[in-house]
Structure 1
Amino acid sequence: MGAPLRIPVFSKSRSSNKPSETELQRAQRIRDAGDIWGAFTILRAGYEKQPSEEIATELSSLIGTTSGYVDVLAAMASHFDNNFYLNSNPDVRGATKDGDIHYLLYGWKENRNPSPFFDNAFYRDRNPDLKPGEFLLSHFAKCGKAAGSPANPINDRYWFEPFSPTDEQWSKLSPARMNDNTETVVIIPVYKGYEETMTAIYHAVSSRGNDRYSLLVINDKSPDDAINARLRSLAAKGLFEYHASVINRGFVQTCNYAIKELSGNHDVILLNSDAYVFPGWYNRLKAHAIDPSVATVTPLSNNATICSYPLTHRDNFLALECTPEQLDTLAANANRGLAVETPTGVGFCFYMNRNVINKIGALDSDAFKVGYGEENDFCMRALNHGYKNLIVGDVFVFHTGSVSFSAIKEENFNMGQKALEVNHPNYSPLVRGHIMADPELHLRRRLDMERLSAALRGATVFVTHKWGGGINTYLKQQKEALKDKKSDFVTLQVHDSCRVTVNTDYGLFVPNLTNIDLRNEFGLVAEMIDKLSPKLFHVNSFAGIDWHWHKKLLELISESGIPYKYVGHDYSSISHHYQLLRPDNIYAPIPSIQERRTWSTMIENSGSIDICDPDERLEAYTGFLVKAAVVEVPSKAANAILEREFPQVTFNVVPHDDHLPDFPIATRRARDKRIKVAVIGAIGPHKGSDVLTALAVDAKNRNLELDYTLVGYSSNDELLKSQGVYITGPYHTEAEALDILSRAQPDFVLIPSIWPETFCYALSMALKLLIPPVVFDIGAQAERVSPLAWGVTLPISLAYAPRKLSETLLGIDIDKLWDARERKIAA
């Protein structure tokens, strides 16, 4: 953790702590000149010297936050790690050592992470109650941490930490020395890092079993007396081959000495003194090197650039649900025999073919005296001689990455990169192309899949789209119910024409199971489902993928032998016009097959892309629905439409549960001459945005006593605003929406939706607050409102007659509606 920040406490007395006017003016002048950093440092120094509310306010302003500066300071002191921040952001590190200032002024807004355990982007996504401008760490310190809100999607502890094996642990190991059966020498060069070194050696010896490798530990004249003494002691026990250099050669020359002088004519594996292997690793690695055209082999690791897992090009130090050793076993199962070619390996665990060494030479100790590029150079020379380098997916080696042969790592790295560019001008383009193609993604996907099935086998699998809306609200309820029962679930989200993403709601970190392309990875999805062996498919929507893959997934589920439940949230089972609206947004009650076929000749504007002939769709869904364990719809209105199309299917009408939080019922405002109308939700044309626009235009043109408020947003906010509609903007939680709606005090809520809704969650908000609802006489909205003495249903024809609709709204007996509401409350 970086140096703790001092948190001054200022007095509220302005007389005793009033800052120098010239100091504030100087900071303002510098700020006006564009030097925000300079202004901040002046004000921060002034605040530390003499805390005051005025300077605190200016500092918060410079940070760009609505949070108080004292809260910001407290949060930074507890949750900011300067060393981590600088190491994670080379551009910042190259410009300043004051990572805290950069984070405060820029980093938190750029989603740069302040510590190993806090993920800015994740925290924003998981905390919709964050207010605009609220400093993330302040929110976490004051609210999130106490509420148990996670700060990252993985874990709050390190995955694996090095240790010092006891004498008893060492005594139980069998020697890993060279003999007539040895085919490969594993070389661990040692210099610094006592615990890391002992852990690496212990794992290399304990993981050997009957594998045909020997372990050579070569000590490059370590300055650490404890390392030297322990290595002598362990070597005396005969656990490994040991060579103690009398001079310090440096990393590359030490490796070369071991390769050329101490390993015979065997293949070698360079293993870092902070890399840890597990039982079975060697035979799996060796299997890939049997091919004489293979020069080098590198396994997957948590910290190895292109070989990194689960996130590539990241130091994955946070704990997954399994240990590194368990992950190695999972890798063996998921990716046995799988490898990809690469322009370069990575030196933490680097298999080198002796025949290739004999042909092209060992590591280049002249160009790479202290390392940082020597293995890349070897791989490039091998490529130039017609050999290939492999990254394998069936071995996982843990790498802490904390032990270096040099105190000036960055300078040495830059020198190594420069030497690479001189010797191999095509190195960067080759690596850049490899990174863009990311062939390791397939290996990471399969390993994610193996972890998913190991951790969540037998889970319920929800199938849905990525469009949000009412289905998300429904699924949130379903998932909460499963959590209460301690039952697992996984969500398959379909999107972007042909893609599937696995979502575990952060129950399991599987970042490589996103954007799976069904065009070339349909088999992977089928294999994943087979391995996962769900107890139930809960099918909600395939919106967002084209008909070919829509149909293929219907077939995959229905032929899987796994029970499945289908919930009809819309009418996608009978038309790619999910809301049964004509493409010109005209409501057409119960359209025939021929009408739907005619609609397909029109230009599609709804966003649906799974176009097909209506007969083909009915045939596919009939076959799917008749085999379903359960088919549900949330309203009688939806049932009436669907059972006409699928007479062979039994539909169960199961209205959605009340998902809204407890909230005081609305109070009626004092009447005046105007009528206040509220509309709720994210509304597009099918939800009535055109209806609202026409009403607003009419009210403005005729100076009608109608005021419209949209609690949410629309597909055309600017037009609505220009016509006098007040738009609150998106709400982040249902509680927030209820609060906004209650404070708006409308005379009634208008649901202008022009499609036969299957439920209508926006209507639920009006009913929750007992605000009189007004709807058109179609779908679930009419079904839910028509029994209410304090609600109104209007003919759908009025949706297309705005002047008449305005007059109808003006003519509603509002007193009668609220009186009926009061009678309901009193009953």
Structure 2
Amino acid sequence: MKNDIKETSNTDDKAIIRGVVDSWDGMTISGWAVSSDSDNFELCILADGIEIKRFIPDQYRSDLYEQKISTTGFSGFKVELNVYELIDKNFSEIEIIECETKSPLVGVPLNIYSPVIKGHIDSQSIYNIIGWCFDKSYPDRNVDIDVYVNESLVTTIAANILRHDLRDAGITSFSSGFSLNIGQYIDHLKLNSVVFKVAGTQQIILDEVKLFPKTARINTLVKLQNIVKKATLLNDSPELTWLTQSIIPELIDKTRADQFAQGDYSFADKTLVTNGKKSIDIIVPVYKGFEETINCIQSVYDVNCKQNFNVIVINDCSPEPELTDKLRNLEKTLGFILLENEFNLGFVGTVNKGMKYSETNDVLLLNSDTVVTNHWLDKIVGAAYSDETIGSVTPFSNNATICSYPRFCVDNELPKQIKLNELSEVFATENKNKVVDLPTAHGFSMFIKRSTLKDVGFFDEKKWGKGYAEENDFSLRAARLGWRNVMAMDAFVQHLGSVSFAGNTDEFIATNLRKLNGIYPDYPQAVESFINEDPIRPFRNNVAFNLLQKEQLNTINKNRENLGSILYVSLTIGGGTEVATNDIAAINRSEGKSVFMLVAPSENMWELKSLIDNTVVQYKLPEDESMLIKHLKSLKVNIIHYHHTIQFPKFVWELSEQLSVPYEVILHDYHTICPRVNLIDETKSYCGEPNSDACNRCIKRNGVHNASLLSFDDLGGTIDSWRNYYFEKLQGAQAVITPSVDTRDRILKYFDLDNIEARYHPESEFIYEPISLIDAKVLNIAFIGAIGVHKGLNVLKECAKYAYKFNLPVKFIVIGYTSDDEYFKELPNVTITGKYEKEELPELFKIHDCHIAGLFSVWPETFSYTLSEALRANLRIAAFNLGAINERCNVDYLNEIGTPSNVIMKNILGIN
């Protein structure tokens, strides 16, 4: 039908019909029609070609008479045509024709738009319900509402009361309020369900209201008391006695005393159907993220799954046209249901739309940035129906806070050494049919039984807007009604976490979190307790240890001569120790050996980690000590390399004996001779290694290193007892290795060891050809890394001040940051780049035209990877005559242990 208005005529010899449809507001069609030979003819309204009504255009229209369109003016019509009744009968197209000639009238399109009801229940009691609603598709007409109480139609009301608050809020259809005297319709002896529908249809609108009058409440509590009393007589337990003698009587008395105890059970929109054995409806809300969304939907159809399912994809006004086009094409090829929102509803409104569309089935809400795995739905549904009180189920994921793997409450990358479906199979094997109760479900992949939805209601759009905290609120509402929120230990779904719905800003999230915690003040403590207890850890460990075994088995298959594994014991605070262990481990693996790392992030939590993946098994000590030993034996550990024990208790040194294997010690610093690790005292510089009395005074005054688990008193309270303890450990080692001759010689001043040797850390070979300074008009000196006092911060301050004061052609470039960046804001000859990644260093040196590396550590470094990076960049070196930096820049040392770091040394500038 054309939108431009033309009079319709019939060229039949019998008559000429002219007519126009002027308007249709969803309730009344207006227009006019005239015939060339008769004033008494009929028009027909057709719905999808079916005649539904006849009428005669016989109303007076002065405009028709004045314009001489009609000789009498009685050619107009106004005919009732309720759009909701048409929608209820699934009609889609409307047309008006002259009954005899079949000539259609033209004018405004008679399109049937789906109703978009907006409204709210403002207040409710057993006496009155007040609210408002209007239809956004037909804003000029008031909505008539059929009111059902306990499934019986009791009255019809009109939402036509003027509401000034709606007008002030900018709602154009502000004459849309209603006030319902509900008290005359409810049964005061039972719980009442009040449902609102568009008049004459089955279209449910607004919230279902549950009203529980006082008498009904008291009767219900008395019945409950009787049931519990019978149980008490059969089983005299303190808990049941407490209920019958204290809790339930108090509730009865409180209800009787409460003058207005009518009940306020107002939830989000509810369905009126019960669950049966049907397909699962997978609801995928989509906003943006082309590749992620398509991968998600495709994965649902690609994986193996026995459970019947339907997919409902809802496009929430995506800002990406190419995504909208792709979804429309995929709908045809994959066969899912595609719904498209006319305007952006946000996550909450969109998934609610899907759950309402689903009507009777269980649902699974699936984020569009997920990838599912083989039999994921089978395992989730199995968990859901393992207990009739389970209401929601969440699977494992790599990015799902308390449901995350391998680390708890962390956004993890997927393991690199195993494919996604293989990883899922490990979960299925190791944790088969296991569930754990959660304080809240996680919305990335959230299964909800239809019976739970019927009881609890949908997500609360009014509370949470476009989204955040809605699944937490739903979970707590469900738990309040006796439903369990659980996690399926045997199911895994990848979650990228990269695609968000519009409106999820940090401020919006913070606001909703405050609102959530305000409504449920016990919730933060419940989550904190869950995190502290971490009941999911054993199930993460089952999977992680399986992966460590696979890693060890893969190594054996590659090199059957090396059946054992090496256990590294090290720290978690990074630095050169971490770089060295990774490099040495790479060499061990190239020789066909498996390498695993043991660290202690906290005193009672140790972690056994892969060094080629993010797999980690966590042990709570001392409870899990026997499990740790069992696992290490299973991984065939045949030697231990102690790289650092600063974060461990003394028990860590007993591992060698418990496993009956030898050990080596690699010294990355001076922890064994100095509890402060780096030989720095309160002057913030190298102490000069004084006598024992001075060391004791220093430790008493300054304490041990802040990362040290052991205190000074734990090892006797004197520097001699400290050193004696570590001398015994070093003496019992198969070998003690230092990363430089200087470090070895310092250790030998305290420990008479015949098993110690100096061995530079392995590095790739490169040629050092120092930058020429001949053409440099300004000398740019680079300070590399995190520059604190121990790395020469005070040297940098003094040099920069001096150069600025005397206007010297010298600039200082901090490639990294300092512990006092604020100090340098007033010095224009100092530039601070900020944190960087290692691979960015060459480009940063180039950008800032660096000539010299200032390596002014005030303690004797044991190796210095910073020196290696400076040499690779061919920077000249300015350093103190101290420690391994001086050694590695001094040719005199080369004859003893070979070319340092495999560098072909041509020339080094030393500035002392």
TM-score, normalised relative to structure 1: 0.48
Bigger strand share: 2
**The structure with more helix, counted as a fraction of residues:** 1
